[in-house]
Structure 1
Amino acid sequence: MQNGPAVRRRKLGAELRTLRTGTGLTSGEAARLVGWHQSKVSRIETGASGVKPADVRLLLDAYGVREGQRRELLLMLAGAEEAGGRSRWWHAYRGILPPTYRDFISLESQASGMRTLETTVVPGLLQTPEYARAVTRAAVGGVDDERLDALVEVRLARQDVLHADPPLELSAVLDEAVLRREVGGPEVMARQLDRLLETARLPQVRLQVLPFDAGAHVGLTGPFVIFSFPSTSDLDVVVLDQLTSSLYLERKEDLKAYAEAFDALRIHALSPHDSLDYIAGIGDGA
């Protein structure tokens, strides 16, 4: 269990070590190829220290990795300002976003897939501006209007991943409580339900509702997010969001447990088609 930056360092280091051993090079030989001391390669591979994008490029060139999604992803994990056409736009909000939130956005922007269980609020990627404002105002006590505006801007800017090329593949399971809780009042909630119906029709979005009559389920322990990345499952990570921080789980046994839990939730939830009808019924006051 690590914070976000540590997870990325460890995963980046593990990938670089795999690439190095695949070429038959020792860490000392790799270091000599790029003009470093062997200890620097070791620190990078164990995640003990950060690494600049320029250093990652040197290693990838030395290992013969010149094209493809893996190179782009590893450069993004190292903090490259732009890779695969996705810029690090959230840096403009560095002064108002806590590090854990910035790292979550970074992972979200790099991921190819996202599986999420929500038990209290609509996922950020599916929120309307009015709903996002109401949620943010409630979550961040005493925030002034200027900072509130900026935080809402960030929430809405994150939604661009659903329209990127390629777009993020989103699979979301929503507890019925998410749909019944009138965040921002009836009018705001009505527009939010319409937005869910609209977004759920995108080909890369799969939305399912877990109705109250499904009874007890594994999701009662709380919401979670599973990020998946292109080319390799070794970079997948689970995020558990808490009030003041986020926990990142990267062990294979944790990933397996949460993936199985999500699959079980999807089985207990309504089908995507029936979920749209259910949401529409709530919106109509049924």
Structure 2
Amino acid sequence: MTESRPTFKRRQLARLLRRLREQARLSIEEAAPLLHFSTAKLSRIERAVNGVDVHAVKSMLDLYGVPGDQWPEIIDMAVRARERGWRHAYGLNDKGYVSMEAEASAVYEYQLGYVPGLLQTEEYARAVIASYRLQRRSRQDVDNQIAVRMRRQARLRDNPPLELQALIDESVLHRPIGGTTLMRTQLAHLVEMSELSNVTLRVLASSTSPHEGLEGSFIVLRFADPKDPDVVFIDHPAGGLHLEKEAQVTACMLTFDHLCSRALGPAESVALLRQVIREL
């Protein structure tokens, strides 16, 4: 069964196979019959719409004249592209995000509505998920989503750790999700997480004049391999939007950087968090 959204690994393999074909100076129309594929099938493979087995990948490497010393790495990539991510054990519809985040080396997240998932306590996460009235979930579904969120957070303490640049609108700190006690615990958790060397937390003060961030939240994912382009993810009620065009990603990163320049610095942000905790 194919996934509703190609995994990051499958998309990474698809980009590589297309690049190798182009380097061999073969068009899809020329390469497909030599591989005993239809042009439509080869096109779907290169767009990650369809997966591809290891035997077909070997045929491609042979046809494209790829040196033998490069084969093991590419074949290993093909094997991994067919693996189902750990999140599937939870039956999670993650809108194609979790598999990308799992491969990312850095996350740049701007949140207008709530604490970023990587920084949520279990109780806060449960309260947020319970507020999604448009999506009916069983208790097991909610428990699974919480388990996935907690597992994602473990990467912040891995070696090497996931880098997180989190920018939060001040309104998030005052939104009473789950009650006063829960919010106090969540804000204290933000203070604790901000002490990690790989986590940078900034708060965009409510007194800031109108800015681009009012248009909505977004996440930019960056990967360790410079050949893998940054990806923008935008969550919305009907699904998730993935943007990969360079101009789109650049626009989002420029917006993120601009918002950071207008936000409180990390130390000032923590001071504000402590103040809000005292006032709760």
Task: Please state how far the C-alpha of 1:117 moved relative to its aligned partner.
Answer: 0.5
Task: Please state how far the C-alpha of 1:128 moved relative to its aligned partner.
Answer: 0.4
SS at match of 1:239: strand
Which residues of 2 match residues 1-286 of structure 1 at below 5 A? Answer: 4-5=5-6, 12-22=13-23, 24=24, 26=26, 36-37=36-37, 39=39, 40-45=41-46, 47=47, 49-52=49-52, 54=54, 58=58, 62=62, 63-64=66-67, 65=70, 78-81=81-84, 88-94=85-91, 97-98=92-93, 101=94, 103-140=96-133, 143-232=137-226, 234-285=228-279
Distance across 2 between alignment mates of 1:253 and 1:177? 30
Task: Please state how far the C-alpha of 1:18 moved relative to its aligned partner.
Answer: 2.0
Give the structure with the higher percent helix.
1
Task: Please state how far the C-alpha of 1:163 moved relative to its aligned partner.
Answer: 2.5
CA RMSD in angstroms comes to 3.1
Deviations 1:179-236 (A, max 9, x none): 1112111111111011111111111111110011112111000000111122126532
Task: Please state how far the C-alpha of 1:151 moved relative to its aligned partner.
Answer: 2.2
Give the TM-score normalised by structure 1. Answer: 0.81
Distance across 1 between alignment mates of 2:181 and 2:5? 37
Give the conservation status (yes or no) of the 8 Å contact 2:106–2:162: yes
User: Cα distance 1:277–1:102, how it changes in 2: closer, same or farther (>3 A)?
Assistant: same
Give the TM-score normalised by structure 2. Answer: 0.82
User: Cα distance 1:6–1:149, how it changes in 2: closer, same or farther (>3 A)?
Assistant: closer
Deviations 1:158-187 (A, max 9, x none): 212223333221111000011111211111
Task: Please state how far the C-alpha of 1:25 moved relative to its aligned partner.
Answer: 5.8
1:84 corresponding residue in structure 2: none
Distance across 2 between alignment mates of 1:75 and 1:236? 23
SS at match of 1:103: coil
The residue type equivalent to 1:119 in the other structure is L
Aligned residues: 268
Distance across 2 between alignment mates of 1:59 and 1:267? 51
Greater CA drift, 9-18 or 237-246? 9-18
Distance across 2 between alignment mates of 1:73 and 1:164? 23
